[in-house]
Amino acid sequence: MPTDKKYEEIAILNSTTDTDSTTRKDFNLMLPFLKAKACEIGANAIVIKNIDQGGQWAEPGGKSSAQIPTKAFCVAILISNPK
């Protein structure tokens, strides 16, 4: 969070990649959607709080596997006098 400016927390934003995506680990694919949503609700910045990286999950013994999606958790904020 900004330490030198006043701000207001507007919303918590979450994004999840598709489990079938070959780029499931690429947070950069989610970022434009998070930014657009933040702008839509009146925020002028987002703060990334946590990214849970997805990946391949395999059952012990290798009998089955699944893709685990990447999840991003952010806070949309409105910074007063952002300059």
Taking only the tens of pLDDT, the chain with its 83 residues reads 778 889 999 999 988 876 555 454 567 778 888 999 999 999 999 999 988 877 666 666 666 666 677 788 999 999 987 66
Q: Are 56 and 70 in contact (CB under 8 A)?
A: no
Predicted pLDDT at 66: 65
> What's the whole-model pTM score?
0.69
Predicted pLDDT at 24: 44
What six digits make up the tokens of 41?
Answer: 């609700």
Q: Which DSSP state fits 69?
A: P
Return the CA Rg of the chain: 16
Predicted pLDDT at 35: 92
Q: Dihedrals φ, ψ of 20, to 5°? A: -90, 0
Q: Which amino acid is at 60?
A: P
